[in-house]
Amino acid sequence: MVMPLALLEKSLNKRVTLLLKDSRTLEGRLVGYDEFMNMVLEDTEERTVEQTRKIGSVILRGNNVVSISP
């Protein structure tokens, strides 16, 4: 059994891909999270259907996150 938060813990300091409710994709290094699945990414790239751009560090509110791929 792999608890969802345990997999986040294992993903610390690794690159993850987040899908957000507004259908943007963020790819960055996961450097922190809390029990609400709020997350901190570094060296983040944001991808939409139109473009890709670097956005550096970002704090994500967990309730906007659909899925996280380690």
Rule CB under 8 A: say whether 32 interacts with a second copy.
yes
CA distances from 70 to 13, 29, 33, 48, 50 (A): 11, 10, 14, 19, 24
Rule CB under 8 A: say whether 14 interacts with a second copy.
no
Rule CB under 8 A: say whether 47 interacts with a second copy.
no
Min CB(50)–a second copy separation in Å: 12
Look at the block and give the residue holding tokens 């986040």: 8
- Residues in contact with a second copy by CB under 8 A are 1-8, 12, 20-23, 26, 31-34, 37-40, 55-70
